[in-house]
Structure formats: C-alpha cells, structure tokens
Amino acid sequence: MKRGHSVTVVTKHFGELAPRENLHGVEVLRVRAADFKGLRSLSALPGMLARSFSLSDGCDILHAHIPYPSAFIACLVGRARRLPYVVTSQGSELLDYPEEKPLRLLKPLTGVVLRRAEHVHVISQALRESVLRNFGVPQERVSVIPNGVDLEAFNPRRRRKLWDERVVLSVSRLTPKNGLEHLIRAMKLVLEKQDCRLVIAGEGELRQRLEALVSRLGIESQVSFTGWVRYEDIPELLASSDVFARPSITEGLGTAFLEAMACGPVVGTKVSGIVDIVRHMHNGILVAPGDVEGIADAILRLLEDDTLRSELVANGLRFVRSYSWDEIAVRYEEMYRKVLEG
C-alpha cells in the first residue's frame, strides 16, 4: 500500500473479528467457516471462491498465500478471468509435519495448481528444494523471499522486567514439530545448575501432555505456560527474556527465530529452515534435533557466558536488518513485475 498499490484480502473468518474491515487501507473480507478443525478450509472454500471471483474484476494479479485452499481458488479464478496467479508456501503442505498428514492426500492436486501458477514463492531454500523435487515446478518459476520482521516492534529497547528470575522463553504452537518435550527435559538439566524459569507462550493440542511431563519431572515451580498470547504482546515477551529456545523437529523458515534474534540470543536446531537464518556460534547456537543435553548446554552457555552472549546478540541484530518488511516489500513488488511482464 505504501508503494502505491491497491490490495484486497479474502480469508476465513476467525474468532470475533469483523466480517469486513479496512486495515490501514487494505480491504479485508472474512468468509464464515465451520468452527471445527479439519473442516474450516473446506467449508469456507465456496464463499471464498465466490468473493474472490467477484472482486477479481479489474485486478492485475492474484496471490494465494497457501496452497490449500487459496491456490485452488486462485487457479479457478485465474483461469476464468485470464489472470496470472502466484502461490506462496509457508511450509506445512510441503514438509512432512506430523500434524499435517491430511494435506498429503491433496499432493496430486497441489502439484497441479503449483505447476499452473505463473510463479511460486517460498520462504526458505528448504521449501524451494521441496517444490522442485516433489511437485515438478520449473526452477525459473520459483523465488525465495523470506518472511519479514517489524524492527520497530521487535527490538531490545522494549525490555522491562516481567519476571523475578532469568527466563528461557519459547514462543510456539504446542505441536509435535516444535520439539517442546525436548526443551522441557533440557530445562530439568539446566535447573540443576542455574536458577531460572522456562516460559512457554502458545497454545496447542500437546498442552496437557507437556504439563504432565513438567509435573513428572518435578519442575512445576519453574515452568510457566501462558496459553495463547496476542501477537502484539510477543515483542515485549521476547525483549524481556534472557534466551529464546525452540528445538524444532522441522521448520519452514522459523519467523519466530528472526523476531527473537531482533531482541536477544537464540537456541535452535540444525534443521532445514532454521539453518537458513541461524548460523552456529555467529548469531545463535544450533544443536541436533532431539538432543536434550545439547539443548541444555546451549542454554547454560548463554546464561553463563556474557561475552559470548553479547557477541551473538550483536551479530543477530546486524543479520536481521536485511529481513525488515520494507526490504521484503520491494522483493514482492519485483516478483509481481516479473510475473506481469512474463
């Protein structure tokens, strides 16, 4: 919008949000969906298709921000209106996430809409390789543009003391792919040497299991589950913590790591997506996925070695500046121009 373009968004209705509103000049239309996991996208598809078709008259390009159902809709509207469409993948439908098994059934259709798209945009090199290998999209029609970070919101200046002790923070959906069980087991080892607290911000289907694990390990007094947190509150949580840790089993890009890196030191795992942005002992510490002792050692190093901590934080801040949304917006615009000229 700042660069002079007109944008309309069609999406599913969520929570108490308005069916229609204007957000900083962007018209947002939300289609009612069934409030039942697994049926939300399917139930919203007819309404999103109808809205998208009616709004597409006069537009230049369609951009689907996830293969299902958005790319299916963009493919149908694009063919009917003779409009080019771009598909963005954030990862879940391309990588083998444990909680996304049903999406594998759509692989043949996903391949069709990706190959018919004028361009496919992915957020990491790992996802680019998946698109090329698994879906047969020509490499000249695939671009890697990462997600961005709002550097005004995510910065160390927001730091204020929210806890009485030092804090290891994980901002994460409580799902298998994020490896939180390993983090909790690692904290048992950390607490034997350091007086600190683990704060897990987020919600998900593993909450009861993770709380039970904390109880079995006898560390209830030093582990806090915040539940769902508003996105607007996350910058202050990150800036107020001492270490960010998320030992993911798999990751599309790990935008949470970029946001955390803008605020302080990070611990991640050596998996595709994270290794695109976290460089071991340069702007963070990487360990093998599932390595409980390695996670504990990394956290302890950042809590105990102020020199190392300062070095990683400084390098992280320099690195993350190239991920500002202003920079990313220019790259999106270049992608659109390439598609329209083609």
Q: Per residue of the chain (342 residues), give pLDDT as tens.
A: 888 999 999 998 877 789 999 998 899 999 988 877 667 788 888 999 999 999 999 899 999 998 878 999 999 999 999 999 999 988 755 544 444 555 566 778 888 999 999 999 998 888 888 888 888 899 999 999 988 898 888 987 766 778 889 999 999 999 999 999 999 999 999 999 999 999 999 999 999 999 999 999 999 999 999 999 999 999 999 999 999 999 999 877 678 899 999 999 999 999 977 888 899 999 999 999 999 999 999 999 999 999 999 999 999 999 998 888 888 999 999 999 999 998
| Residue corresponding to tokens 């390695």 | 294
Shortest CA distance to 61 belongs to which of 48, 69, 52? 52
Residue type, 232: E
Shortest CA distance to 8 belongs to which of 329, 19, 17, 25? 25
Determine the pLDDT at residue 98: 41
Determine the pLDDT at residue 96: 46
Domain identity same for 116 and 183: no
Does residue 22 lie within any of the structural domains?
yes
Q: How many CB atoms lie within 10 A of CB 82?
A: 6
Q: How many CB atoms lie within 10 A of CB 92?
A: 17
| Residue corresponding to tokens 């229609």 | 20
CB 146 within 8 A of CB 332: no
Does residue 20 lie within any of the structural domains?
yes
Does residue 335 lie within any of the structural domains?
yes
CB 214 within 8 A of CB 284: no
Q: What is the CATH number of the domain that holds 234?
A: 3.40.50.2000
Domain identity same for 328 and 281: no
Domain identity same for 122 and 252: no
Domain identity same for 91 and 163: no
Does residue 170 lie within any of the structural domains?
yes
Q: Is 154 left (phi over 0), alpha (psi -120 to 50) or beta?
A: beta
Determine the pLDDT at residue 105: 67
Q: Report helix, strand or coil for 15.
A: coil
Domain identity same for 331 and 280: no
The count of domains in the chain is 2
Does residue 2 lie within any of the structural domains?
no
Does residue 215 lie within any of the structural domains?
yes
CB 28 within 8 A of CB 20: yes
Q: What totals of helices (H) and strands (E) does the chain contain, helices first?
A: 12, 13
Q: How many CB atoms lie within 10 A of CB 210?
A: 18
- Determine the Cα–Cα distance for residues 276 and 172; give it in Å rounded to an integer: 19
| Residue corresponding to tokens 């615009």 | 333
Determine the pLDDT at residue 97: 42
Domain identity same for 56 and 129: yes
HSE of 290, CA atoms in CB hemisphere, 13 A: 4
Domain identity same for 72 and 62: yes
> In sequence order, which ranges of the chain are alpha helices (DSSP H)?
40-55, 72-81, 101-104, 107-116, 125-135, 180-190, 207-217, 234-240, 255-261, 292-304, 306-320, 325-341
The length of the chain is: 342
Q: How many CB atoms lie within 10 A of CB 290?
A: 14
At residue 61, φ and ψ (nearest 5 deg) are: -155, 145
Tell me the pTM.
0.76
In terms of Cβ atoms closer than 10 Å to its own Cβ (0-12, 13-18, 19+), residue 288 is exposed
Residue range(s) defining the domain that contains residue 105: 8-148+324-341
Domain identity same for 180 and 81: no
Domain identity same for 163 and 311: yes
Domain identity same for 98 and 196: no
Domain identity same for 95 and 68: yes
Domain identity same for 307 and 179: yes
